[in-house]
Structure 1
Amino acid sequence: MDYYISNVSKVEKKEVQINGSRGAYIQWLVTKDHGANYAVRKFTLEPKGVIPMHVHKYQETVVITKGECKVCVGDQSRVLKEGDFIFIDSDVKHAIVNGESKLEFFCIIDLPEDMSIKALGEGCE
């Protein structure tokens, strides 16, 4: 496929399937099905939504487009707000905890052969 055009509102929104997630939804916008060597995803977290501490083999860049959240990476935590972005390397544990209002962010990832995600059962302090 030479190109692909759509609208975010037309892409199915699914619950994030990491054990311990709540109020977290994902939309896969660009994938290998479009011929890409990477993926672009949009996440929406409801107030108090959580994507718990986890690890995976792919690298990711998260770009906050609405709201504010706490991101735990390794043993550190940071508050990110609209316009902030973070790169997280492969095999680095991380979590996202939303505050009181809706959070939206885009996440760009590479597509290694192993796309598995391992929930760690740890908190984000």
Structure 2
Amino acid sequence: MSVKRIEEVAAEAVPDGVGVSKQVLISAEEAPNFAMRCFTIQPGGSMPLHTNLVEHEQYVLSGSANVVIGEETYTVEQGNVVFIPAGAAHTYVNNGSEPFRFLCLVPNREDKTSFISS
């Protein structure tokens, strides 16, 4: 068991994103079933359209963004919960004026990110 302050966890740039960083809050080495990460997308930032082998459970901490899941576009904001099924194409765009921050929990299973060219 461990307790951490999110502010004390180092953030790393997400190479395929624009203005995107990630903090690994609970890693696969720390918990047997799920990993917890915190993503921050700066104003004007985005993640390209992609799929993953594992599902994503997300909780929006602050800001707002347009999230595309499959064929649907959602505007999400603080307090929203987002579920992205395994294999669903998805993308994030922060058109707002403040950082978009969300927790993302994923199962500790093999994952592969596949980017979809437009």
Same fold (TM over 0.5): yes
For residues 85 and 121 of structure 1, the distance between their equivalents in structure 2, rounded to whole angstroms, comes to 27
For residues 101 and 31 of structure 2, the distance between their equivalents in structure 1, rounded to whole angstroms, comes to 25
**What TM-score, normalized to structure 1?**
0.88
User: How is 1:71-90 mapped onto 2 (pairs within 5 angstroms)?
Assistant: 71-90=67-86
Runs (4+) of structure 1 exceeding 4 A deviation are: none
How far is 1:29 from its partner?
A: 0.5
For residues 58 and 27 of structure 1, the distance between their equivalents in structure 2, rounded to whole angstroms, comes to 19
Indicate which of 36, 50, 75 corresponds to 2:46. Answer: 50
**What TM-score, normalized to structure 2?**
0.93
Listed as ranges, the gaps of 5+ residues in structure 1 are: none
Q: Paired residue for 2:99?
A: 102
SS in 2 for 1:34: coil
SS in 1 for 2:29: helix
How far is 1:17 from its partner?
A: 3.1
How far is 1:31 from its partner?
A: 1.4
Identity in percent: 22
Q: Paired residue for 1:7?
A: 5
- Equivalent residues of 2:50, 2:90 under 8 A apart: yes
Quote the RMSD (CA, aligned, Å). 1.1
Q: Paired residue for 2:24?
A: 28
